[in-house]
Amino acid sequence: MATAIQDIPLKTIDGQDDSLAAHEGKVLLVVNVASKCGLTPQYEGLEALYRKYRGEGFEVLGFPANDFGGQEPGTEEEIQTFCTTKFDVDFPMFSKVVATGPDKHPLYKALTDAVPSAQTTGEDMRAKLKNYGMTPTEEPEVLWNFEKFLIGRDGDVVARFAPSTTPDDPALVGAIERELFASE
C-alpha cells in the first residue's frame, strides 16, 4: 500500500528517477549525509547496518545535504566517489537535497511532519553547536548532518534519531530489528 511519502519524486545520485515506492515493502533508514562533517565516519556504521540487514529487507538511503556548515560542497560525482572510495558505500545514494528551512525537499518536509522530534536526544549536540558559536535548529527541523528517519515496511515513518545517535546505538538497532521482524 503506497503512502503519500512514497510518491514524492526523488533522484538517485546518478540522476535516475526514483521514489520510496520503488523500495516498497522494505524497512528504510533515511539519512541526510555529508562528506566533511565530524560525523562523516558514521558512513562506515551505516554501511555495516546495510550489509547486516539488507537480506532481511532493509535499506539505508543516503541524501547528501549542504545545509549545515557547508559540509557537503561537492558535486554528485564527487560525493559518490568519496563514499565508495573512502567508506565502500554500497547502499543507495540520492542527489543532494535541502533538509531544513523554507526550501527543504518535500521528502524532508514529510519526514519532519510525520515525526517532529527525535526519539534520542540531540541536546548534547545542540550544546556543542552553541559552544562553536552556531545556532542550532529547533525541532521539528533536522538538527544536523546524519539525522536518521526509520520507515516501516508499510511506508509509515516510525522513528527519528538525533545525528549523534551512532548506527550501532542499541536504540536504533532495536528499532530497525522491531520493524524487520515484527511480522515473524
Per-residue pLDDT of the chain (184 residues; tens, 9 = 90+): 456 899 999 999 999 999 999 999 999 999 999 999 989 999 999 999 999 999 999 999 999 999 998 999 999 999 999 999 999 999 999 999 999 999 999 999 999 999 999 887 777 888 888 888 888 888 899 999 999 999 999 999 999 999 999 999 999 999 999 999 986 5
How many domains does the chain fold into? 1
Which pLDDT score, from 0 to 100, does residue 2 have? Answer: 52
Which domain, by its residues, includes 175?
4-181
* Residue 59 · residue 92 · CB < 8 Å: yes
Look up residue 27 and give its amino acid.
Answer: V
Q: What is the pLDDT of residue 121?
A: 72
What number of helices (H) and strands (E) belong to the chain?
5, 6
* SS3 at position 9: coil
By residue count, the chain amounts to 184
Q: State the pLDDT at residue 138.
A: 87
Q: Are 54 and 90 in contact (CB under 8 A)?
A: no
Could you give the residue numbers annotated as active site? Answer: 37
What CATH number does residue 9 fall under? 3.40.30.10
Nearest residue to 122 via CA among 102, 142, 149, 108: 142
Strands 58-64 and 27-33: parallel
Place of cell 518535500: 106
Closest CA to 13 of 89, 79, 84: 79
Can you tell me which residue has the cell 543532494?
96
